[in-house]
Amino acid sequence: MTLERLAGYLGQATLQQKSGKDTHERIKTLSRDIRSLSDHSGFMSQKVTFLLDATLGMINIEQNAIIKIFSVAAVVFLPPTLIASIYGMNFEHMPELEWLVGYPFAIGLMILSAVLPYLFFKRKGWL
C-alpha cells in the first residue's frame, strides 16, 4: 500500500468518524504533499535516466573513435608486416635476394604499402 492510498483511506475514515474538520484538512494536505512528492520523484527519475543515457552515448562515441584509430593502424601496418614476414622466410630461391636493389626495393614496398592506406584514409576524412 502506498502512502498516497493510505492518506486517502485516512481521509475517508476521518469523514466517516467525524473526528474533526481540522484533522481531515491536515490529512487532505498530507495527501496532496505526497502526490506532489511522488510526481517530483518521477520527474527526477526521468531526468537521471536521461543524463545516464546521454553519458553512455558520449562514452560510446569516444570508444568508437578509439576503435576507428586502432582499425586504421591495423590496416596501415598489415601490408608491411606481410611483406616483412615473406622476406623473413628462409627460401633459397627468391629472385629479389640476388638483386642489387632487392633489399631497398623490399623496404620501399613496405613504406609504400603503409603510406598508401594512410593517405587513402586521410583523403576520405576518416583520420
85-115 tens-digit pLDDT: 877 777 677 766 777 887 788 788 888 888 8
CA distance 109 to 12: 89
Domain coordinates in residue numbering, the chain:
3-124
Q: How far is CA 108 from the centre of its chain?
A: 40
pLDDT for the residue 105 = 81
> Would you put residue 35 in left (φ > 0), alpha (ψ -120 to 50) or beta?
alpha
Q: What is the 3-state secondary structure (H, E, C) of 60-75?
A: HHHHHHHHHHHHHHHH
| Global model pTM greater than 0.75 | no
Q: Which fold has domain 3-124?
A: Methane Monooxygenase Hydroxylase; Chain G, domain 1 (1.20.58)
What is the C-alpha separation between 91 and 102, in angstroms, rounded? 14
pLDDT in tens, 30-65: 888 888 888 999 999 999 999 999 999 999 999 998
Residue entry with cell 536521461: 50
